[in-house]
Amino acid sequence: MSALQTAWARWDGLDAREKTGVGAAAVLVLLAALWWLALAPALQTLRTAPAERARLDAQLLQMRVLQAQAQALQTQPRLGYDDALRALEASVKQNLGTGAQLNVAGDQVSISVRGVSAGALTQWLTQARVNARAQPTDARLMRSAGAADAAGTVRWDGTLVLSLPAR
């Protein structure tokens, strides 16, 4: 006798009240499975959709800003090595002041920084990229020994290596 035949034989052996109870339990299990497998995930998706859309819209906006910046960089005229070096030296003096030392070796420029704030470093890197067309190739930075001053500004020590346009 197969398992299905055995099950039907047991079903036929039940009285009406037991059949009703087993049927109700089967319907309850079927409804629970339907809820967990079909309805709950769909409702969860509907609940999280507005937040997910807002997150994706913000990400898209940031990507468009980055695209506009990249296109602006592409439209800028080519910059020669000497002009790029002058622009880089000016940005180092303006943003990093006495906390930085610049060493030129061919098309590579090494900048050693000591006790420079994170904000000044960020602003300088942006200017170096835009004004001098310098490409960062290596960065080795560590927090300064007295990592933050009284105002809570974090200071950094280390070396940055940038590549300038070819001569």
Sheet holding 108-117, edge to edge: 100-105, 108-117, 154-163, 135-148
Is the separation of the CB atoms in 111 and 101 below 8 Å?
yes
List, in order, residues 6 or more apart from 130 with CB less than 8 Å away: 73
CA 90, CA 82: separation in Å to the nearest integer?
12
Tokens of 4: 């299905």
121-163 pLDDT, tens per residue? 989 998 888 888 888 999 999 998 765 566 778 888 999 999 9
The domain defined by 81-163 folds into: Alpha-Beta Plaits (3.30.70)
CA 84, CA 75: separation in Å to the nearest integer?
16
Q: Where exactly are the structural domains of the chain?
A: 3-74, 81-163
Q: Minimal CA–CA distance to 97: which of 123, 119, 116?
A: 116
Tokens of 133: 């067309």
For 93-162, give the DSSP string. IIIIGGGEEEEEETTEEEEEEEEEEHHHHHHHHHHHHHHS--EEEEEEEEEEEEEE-TT--EEEEEEEEE
Regions of the chain where pLDDT drops below 70 = 1, 146-150
Specify the pLDDT at position 62.
97
